[in-house]
């Protein structure tokens, strides 16, 4: 692999959930530009010869801009190196990959997308819950509480209904505001929901609650998401345990 960029999804954090292709590409890279929340266990799988660049953006701290990230990707690739842009979950879901793809196309730099397991799928598997049960759900909606500063937030009312499984990525620290928006969108106060942090990793945490009582749940550390809907009623949270083997020998 020479002078090429790979947009790679790292999955929800557990290294066992990396795809085989993602691991192969990572181990063949010259440079890996990764998010701040990329699992250290995944980075530990890379050879010591790989140059790691943390381009994570965190709330409340001075962050690298998306334009600067684009420039770094192009600079490394145009110097003849194989570059991996590593994102948590799937790089095409709430990951601003579109802007990176546009920059690569404009510069005529060869690139490839390697999908990963998005956080919602990892979280549902960790709590042993389906996301759609055709007996009482017919829609699956992914939405984020974060949005571009110059754009309005999503209209939750147009997305939500009793037969919807609603997955909120990056819910932030103001659960009271989330409750307000969920109820104004039409979710009943007794609709079950689960707050999930670090799903699939050893430090994962879950809190089962309802929409009305969500504001009483301790704010979970990032990466976190909320699963709202009837499917949450049947999740076996208390039974979910992880004891994953190491990938060190792969």
Considering 117, 132, 158, which residue would you say is the last residue of a domain? 117
**Are 189 and 224 part of one and the same domain?**
yes
Residue 249: predicted pLDDT? 38
Domain contains 107:
yes
Mean pLDDT, to the nearest integer, of 155-172?
Answer: 88
Are residues 113 and 126 located together in one domain of the fold? no
Alpha-carbon gap, residue 69 to 113, rounded angstroms: 17
Q: Within this chain, do residues 96 and 132 fall inside the same structural domain, yes or no? A: no
Contacts of 146 (CB under 8 A, 6+ apart): 94, 169, 170, 172
Instruction: Please state, in angstroms and rounded to a whole number, the distance separating the CA atoms of residues 149 and 42.
Output: 31
Q: Same structural domain for residues 79 and 186?
A: no
Which residues are tagged catalytic? 35, 57, 170
Same domain, 38 and 95: yes
* Top-confidence residue, 11 or 245: 11
What's the confidence (pLDDT) of residue 161?
A: 85
This prediction has a pTM of: 0.86
Q: Are residues 105 and 143 located together in one domain of the fold?
A: no
Residue 246 forms part of a structural domain: no
Rg for the chain, CA atoms, rounded:
19
Query: Could you say which of 53, 85, 117 is where a domain stops?
Result: 117
How many structural domains is the chain composed of?
2
Range of the domain at 93: 5-117
Q: How many Å apart are CA 208 and CA 244, to the nearest integer?
A: 24
Quote the pLDDT of residue 159. 81
Last residue of a domain, one of 117, 151, 174: 117
Q: What is the CATH number of the domain that holds 175?
A: 3.30.950.10
pLDDT at 241 over 50: no
DSSP character string of 171-239: --S-HHHHHHHHHHHT--TT-EEEEEESTTSTT-EEEEEETTTGGGSPPPPSSEEEEESGGGGG--GGG
Residue 76: which CATH number?
3.40.1010.10
User: Is the same domain home to 97 and 66?
Assistant: yes
Taking only the tens place, the pLDDT of each residue in 24-72 is 999 999 999 999 989 999 999 999 999 999 998 755 455 789 999 999 9
Whether the pLDDT of residue 122 is over 60: the answer is: yes
Same domain as 45, residue 57: yes
């Amino acid at each position: 692999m020479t002078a090429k960029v790979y947009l790679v999804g790292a999955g929800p954090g557990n290294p066992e959930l990396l795809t085989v292709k993602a691991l192969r590409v990572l181990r063949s890279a010259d440079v890996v530009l990764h998010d701040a929340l990329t699992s250290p266990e995944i980075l530990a799988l890379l050879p010591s010869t790989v140059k790691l660049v943390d381009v994570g953006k965190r709330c409340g701290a001075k962050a690298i801009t998306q334009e600067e990230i684009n420039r770094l990707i192009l600079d490394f690739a145009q110097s003849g190196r194989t570059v991996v842009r590593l994102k948590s979950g799937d790089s095409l879901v709430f990951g601003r990959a579109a802007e990176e793809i546009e920059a690569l196309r404009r510069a005529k730099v060869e690139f490839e997308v390697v999908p990963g397991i998005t956080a919602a799928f990892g979280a549902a598997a960790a709590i042993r819950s389906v996301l759609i049960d055709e007996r009482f759900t017919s829609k699956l909606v992914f939405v984020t509480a974060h949005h571009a500063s110059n754009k309005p937030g999503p209209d939750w009312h147009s997305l939500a209904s009793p037969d919807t499984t609603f997955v909120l990525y990056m819910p932030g620290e103001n659960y009271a505001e989330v409750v307000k928006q969920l109820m104004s969108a039409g979710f009943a106060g007794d609709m079950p929901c689960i707050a999930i942090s670090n799903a699939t990793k050893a430090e994962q945490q879950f809190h089962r609650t309802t929409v009305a009582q969500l504001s009483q749940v301790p704010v979970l550390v990032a990466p976190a998401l909320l699963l709202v809907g009837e499917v949450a009623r049947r999740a076996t949270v208390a039974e979910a345990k992880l004891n994953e083997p190491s990938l060190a020998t792969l």
